[in-house]
Amino acid sequence: MSTPFREFALMCEKLENISSKLSKIQLVNSFLKKLVPDELPIAVRMIIGKIFPPWSDKNLDISWNSILKILKSLTKIDDKEIIEIYNRCGDPGELFRIVMKEKQLTKQQVLLGGKLTVLEVYRMFESIARIKGKGSRERKERILYAILSKAEPLEAKFIIRMILGEMRHGVSEGIMEEALSDYLGVPLETLRRAHMIFGDLGKIIEIAVREGIEHIIHPKFRLFNPIKPMLAQTAQNIQEVIKEHGKTAFEYKFDGARVQIHKKDDEVRIFSRRLTDVTISLPDIVELIKREIRSREIVVEGEVIAISKDNKPLPFQQLMKRFKRIRNIEKKVKELPTRLFLFDILYLDGKLLIDEPYIKRRALLENIVRNIDLAPMLVTDNISEAQKFLEQALEHGHEGLMAKKLNSRYTPGVRGKNWFKIKKALRLDLVIVAAEWGHGRRHNWLSDYYLATRDLETGEFLIVGKTFKGLTDAEFKDITKRLLELKIGERRRTVFVKPEIVAEVAFNEIQKSPKYKSGYALRFARIVRIREDKSPEDADSIQRIKILYERQFKGKSMR
């Protein structure tokens, strides 16, 4: 028997009012123990604000305008009342709960009403994700209307929050890892390693239930199930890296898109940094891998860049024209050729290599790969040599350097000191959470952006500044359209949006600021580019900003 969705909503509401991490874990486990096996992976994802696995090509693609249209149809509320209530509560899910509780439901809705179940809500989401093509918006709206017609106000609150990917109850992936460790009775480090390999907490509990705990304790890597990429911290300069690592492997850092490539016999699939399947957009890379890599089973990692007719790197935004392309691919391949640089190997013919030292993986890659470029590399502990290598990378049109500890293991999803990135200027990846309408010639555009960083402990996005600098008129126009599709509320001239768009932001300094809840503000912030390859979860954290702030004062007084 399927679990009533109301129990899920009540559990989420309780989580919202609990501050203790241990109490949150206990409540999550208590709920999971009530579920039938088919519900477990679904519920685990839903609790952390996800509906599908990260590598799934399923996408709800429901705009805020569609959501508001359904709310107005359900409750007969007008725009003025919506704005008043949203300004009071500041949360789209809470807006639905308040309105649906206060407004009299129609007779038709009462007849439609019935107890939703966890599986029923998920299957309706699946139905929405399957809809493509002409008339898809209206068909998606009809299904969502049907869900919300059957929902109680509290259920509607969390359905909307799931659609927007913001549960606001403080259960992050890290807390869910601890909850599953306790639920399955396996050490936390064991659970985390399984998460590294499978890349999805829902998958972990599905495997544990269907195949046994042994497959979590000794996880076996599965081809075409991408693992999270290892992440790098930003270093101020080469001196900092060599002081930390000693002799270091320096590689070019490209202005491209990171890819994880899986091959089994003649089947090749390519996954983006966000673990999205982008194979269809890169047929030229697929053919290159088939032609030049003879290994039966292999997973390699690299960077794809767009190149000009004279073989020089093109800006990242040009490459994104390929990644977004699903039609007329052959034409785009000719117009916008790409070049692949490989830099790591993670799996080979039945053996997972992530526990091997980096320098050994690199040597293995060099022995296996033929006629495919490898990222240029220099191994040295000489600051002057490394500086020249950095200048060489910049002269060739690349971003800077990656610096990798020679004996470092590959730790999926972890941002540690084993890998550093070195760029010309101070930069952070931040999420746009709101925007203001511009003035003068920009009056028709959302052109002043609120930039936010993630709190790793709570999952909350905290504003660290605003900027209207860095984009072209064409980019302002494009971002305005995208932000309006992500709109979740509006107050005077400010539009609040679902945290979805990641921007790479350059700045001069981090300052203390009582203005923002984060306590920090960026000085002279400007957008360098929109990072289409990164998700909000990839944004830099407030914990990292605190470290960067303190680092600014080395050798200086902080007073």
Catalytic residues: 253
**C-alpha span between 298 and 276 (Å, rounded):** 18
In DSSP terms, 338 is beta-bridged to 306
Whether 118 and 43 have beta carbons less than 8 Å apart is answered as: yes
Handedness of CA 17, 20, 24, 29 (dihedral sign): negative
Question: Please, what sign has the CA dihedral across residues 264, 266, 271, 275?
Answer: negative
DSSP, residue by residue, 185-197: T--HHHHHHHHHH
Helix axes 92-102 and 64-75, enclosed angle (nearest 10): 10
3-state secondary structure of 450: strand
Alpha carbons 544 and 428: distance in angstroms, whole number: 10
Task: Give kind and range of the element (H or E) at residue 203.
Answer: helix 201-211
For residues 238 and 420, give the distance between their C-alpha atoms in angstroms, rounded to a whole number. Answer: 10
HSE, side-chain direction, 13 A CA sphere, residue 144: 27
- Give the rounded distance of the alpha carbon of 342 from its chain centre: 22
DSSP label of 416: E
- The CA distance from 328 to 313, in Å, is 23
Give the chain's count of helices (H) and strands (E).
Answer: 22, 20
CA atoms within a 13 Å half-sphere pointing along the CA-CB vector of 300:
32
Return all residues near 206 (Cβ < 8 A) that are at least 6 apart. Answer: 40, 41
b/e burial code for range 198-221 (CB count within 10 A of at least 16 → b): bbbbbbbbbbbbeeeeeebeebeb
Beta bridge partners of 419: 404
